[in-house]
Structure 1
């Protein structure tokens, strides 16, 4: 998979739950409706404490941060699919976390919204919001362009092609698992 995602990062720490990613009050939005999908994205990380700063500027629909760097247990809490969908709708392409809640990781691949990379070391303690990085899919690396450092990532494995296809159903259709 020869692919690179490049952009500035938004850094959070441990146990970022689905209610912080997309508060329950916005779950009435239906992601399959294009205007509501966009609106859902505008509320991504609306539940984060103020100490992280703004993920989406007031009046904007998209974030300037295509990559999130996180600590342990990212996406814990409920099983809501709205969490990775909201991040994807906001313009996030990948999350690099030390570990994930199993259901969030599964929802990333099921929806095809974003790539859930796992870091080998704890990057949320060494990187800062606003730094420019690249994720190199072929090398399984995060490159910190701000400081010229390279960090290894765990291989994304078989989930990569599922996300690339646009989610589990699109992948199943592409590979002939289910009829088109």
Structure 2
């Protein structure tokens, strides 16, 4: 996957992992069941309205809180193909890469994108284009090896693919 395009869901600053996937669901081993509860304490309509390929936009320090991988897994499994934020909590950032969820930091894009806008992201170049408004922004693209990890679906799948070569 070299790009993402879809409708946007926009959230604010300091969205923590307990809001992304409430702790009461952490005993659920099924990623699809986690996705059904993604963001429900902040946006109860999210799981009902998200479509495959949509994007999540957020402010500063997205994914703060615990180190659980459940949070990026719930987001990815819900159908979100990319999260764009002003900044990410470092452990969330790493967990997202580990499970193959593309994330980009771009303050200007977050400031310009509105809920429901149609947005396209090119992961190779880091260009974010709001098709609704015609605006575009430049995010720092991932290095090639991280793009490979994301393209494979995460770190473990990437390692298995490397072993099979």
- Taking structure 2 as the reference length, what is the TM-score of the superposition? 0.90
Tell whether 2:9 aligns with 1:23. no
Q: Residues 154-173 of structure 1 correspond to what in structure 2 (within 5 A)?
A: 154-157=140-143, 158-173=145-160
- 8 Å Cα contact 1:29/1:40 also seen in 2: yes
- Whether the 8 Å contact between 1:70 and 1:123 is mirrored in structure 2 is no
The answer for the alignment partner of 2:39 in structure 1 is: 45
Aligned runs of 1:46-85 on 2, under 5 Å?
46-48=40-42, 54-57=45-48, 63-64=50-51, 66-85=54-73
User: Which residue is 1:118 aligned to?
Assistant: 105
Moved more, 82-91 or 155-164: 155-164
- From 126, 131, 147, the equivalent of 2:133 is 147
Task: Give the number of equivalent residue pairs.
Answer: 163
RMSD: 1.9
Structure 2 unaligned blocks of 5 or more = none
TM-score by length of structure 1 reads 0.83
Rg comparison, structure with higher value: 1
Paired with 2:114 and 2:156, the residues of 1 have a C-alpha distance of: 36
**Structure 1 CA distance for aligned equivalents of residues 110 and 122 of structure 2:** 18
| Ranges in structure 1 where 5+ consecutive residues have no aligned partner | 31-35
Q: Secondary structure at 1:16's aligned position in 2?
A: coil
Structure number with the higher helix fraction is: 2
- SS state at 1:175 partner: helix
Could you tell me how far apart the structure 2 residues matched to 1:143 and 1:24 are? 35
Q: After superposition, what is the alpha-carbon deviation per residue over 1:106-151, rounded to whole angstroms, capped at 9, x for unaligned?
A: 1111122x101111x3433321110001001232111000011111
CA distance in 2: counterparts of 1:143 and 1:66, whole angstroms: 14
After TM superposition, where is structure 1 displaced by more than 4 Å over at least 4 residues in a row? none
Distance of aligned partners of 1:54 and 1:124 in 2 relative to their CA distance in 1, 3 Å threshold? farther
> Which residue of structure 1 aligns with residue 161 of structure 2?
174
Contact 1:66 1:91 in 2 (8 A): yes
Partner of 2:92: 104
